[in-house]
Amino acid sequence: MADEPLDFTFKKVDDKDTTWYARRELGHPDDPYNKNCKKVSKDDPQYKEWLKIGADLCDQLEKDILQDEGDGWVFLADTDGVVSHRKENEGSNILTFKGCTVIPSTAEIIRLFLIQMDQRKYWDPTFVEGNFEYEAEVTARLVTNVYSAPWPVSYRDFVCIASEALREDGLFLAGIHSIEHDEFPDRDGFVRGIIYSSGFVIKPIEGTPDGLPQCRVWYTGTVDTAGWIPVAVANVVNSNQPQNLASLRKLVISVADMLMDVIKDLFRLESFTAANIENIFSSALEKHGHDEHPDILYDALKNYFLEKRVGPTDEDLLNQMETQGKKNTMHKIFRSFQHYMLTMKDGKEIYAMAQEFFSK
């Protein structure tokens, strides 16, 4: 592995490049949210039905983000870098809400925070859990989600088709739409909510003045929380959902900064032992405010070094890195995280450090 040639040319990210979608990460079968996911045969009537729901969902998301105030959207606020709007729906008192922000990263990386269930809790405080239950195609999967609510309101659960798509112009769409399914009836202790074509749209835009990639990201959602909560109250609660974009933006930035510090410190580390590697991880997690959920760093590395994010312990990862040695470990990190390094403000410095290290 260590003798594979490396390219140390720091390349500016092309905002028109869509090749990442073909190699996008789909999650490991052992991930908690994937472990019970069952395949749907192409002969199953649900197969075509779910694919159509997914395609229609993505079309609706694209339609929503392209519309402006002339199409019935009413400006609500510009808070913490998120511009939000609402729109009335004919024949319903449930409002649709939309938010937009700019995140300094690529669509490939932002997508990971949206698609991976175990990442969602870090930027959406109401998210409790979710699972992929059935898969017709990776663009049409049946998902079950649970969201919290303040006492005495019951938690809400949802049964939806989740879909994602990439347009030729680089526009990425990911969302969910509620369906009914005999295998997932209403459950005691939960109120079954309904989600109408809600999700996220990512559009790569011209990079920052210093050459870093960035994307415009939208959230749009129409949610019936059901139960005894008045629709007016539910609309107020739903109006807060676009602000999760601010939390998402901060998380994407902080994780990139944390990884940047970790990689630089690992290149500088002279005694490449499990204990010293752990000290670097602990310091970076604390510095960037992730010390209470270290899995946001450890799990990503387990995926590359141990080929599964769930199951191996943190100690397993640290011992594996020590056993492989510094050269092999840094070779794997440099290769595996290049898509991240190209988004980092110190990315060029890391490339230079790598070139110096591997030339010895």
Task: For residues 194 and 333, state if they share a domain.
Answer: no
Residue 11 maps to a domain: no
Contact 130, 33 (CB under 8 A): yes
Task: For residues 84 and 145, state if they share a domain.
Answer: yes
* pLDDT given for residue 116 in this prediction: 86
Output the domain CATH number for residue 57. 3.30.530.20
Task: For residues 282 and 209, state if they share a domain.
Answer: no
The boundaries of the domain holding residue 318 are: 253-358
Residue 247 maps to a domain: no
Task: For residues 31 and 125, state if they share a domain.
Answer: yes
In angstroms, the CA 245 to CA 265 distance is 30
| 174 φ/ψ angles, rounded to the nearest 5 degrees | -150, 130
Residue 335 maps to a domain: yes
Mean pLDDT to the nearest integer, 339-356: 92
Residue with the larger pLDDT of the pair 31 and 226: 226
Output the domain CATH number for residue 332. 1.10.10
Indicate whether this model's pTM tops 0.85: yes
Per-position DSSP letters for 141-206, written without gaps between them: EEEEEEE---TTSPEEEEEEEEEEEE-TTS-EEEEEEE---TTS---TTEEE-EEEEEEEEEEEE-
Q: What is the pLDDT of residues 249-270, one digit of tens each?
A: 999 999 999 999 999 999 999 9
Please check the confidence at residue 201 and state whether its pLDDT lies above 90: yes
Q: For residue 54, what are its two tokens? A: 């997914």
* pLDDT given for residue 1 in this prediction: 46
Please check the confidence at residue 305 and state whether its pLDDT lies above 80: yes
Q: For residue 31, what are its two tokens? A: 């991930």
Mean pLDDT to the nearest integer, 239-250: 96
Q: Of all residues in the chain, what percent carry a pLDDT higher than 70?
A: 97
Q: For residue 213, what are its two tokens? A: 């990639």
* pLDDT given for residue 155 in this prediction: 94
* pLDDT given for residue 177 in this prediction: 97
Query: Among 193, 212, 239, where does a domain finish?
Result: 239
Task: For residues 278 and 156, state if they share a domain.
Answer: no
The type of residue at 178 is S
* pLDDT given for residue 287 in this prediction: 98
The type of residue at 93 is N
Q: What's the whole-number average pLDDT of the chain?
A: 92
Across the chain, which distance is largest between two alpha carbons, in Å? 70
Q: What is the pLDDT of residues 1-51, one digit of tens each?
A: 445 688 898 888 888 889 998 888 776 666 667 777 899 999 999 999 999
State how far the alpha carbon of 4 is from the alpha carbons of 49, 123, 146, 327, in Å.
46, 37, 45, 12
Residue 157 maps to a domain: yes
Task: For residues 131 and 271, state if they share a domain.
Answer: no
Report CA torsion sign: 183, 127, 179, 132: negative
Residue 225 maps to a domain: yes
Contact 318, 302 (CB under 8 A): no
Residues 6+ apart with CB under 8 A from 92: none
- The number of distinct structural domains making up the chain is 2
Sequence-ordered alpha helix ranges (H) in the chain: 45-66, 107-115, 117-120, 231-238, 244-268, 274-287, 295-305, 314-336, 338-341, 347-358
Q: What is the pLDDT of residues 308-339, one digit of tens each?
A: 877 899 999 999 999 999 999 999 999 989 88
DSSP secondary structure code for residue 214 in this structure = E
Q: For residue 36, what are its two tokens? A: 């019970």
Q: What is the pLDDT of residues 152-196, one digit of tens each?
A: 889 999 999 999 999 999 999 999 999 999 999 999 999 999 999
* pLDDT given for residue 195 in this prediction: 95
Task: For residues 203 and 123, state if they share a domain.
Answer: yes
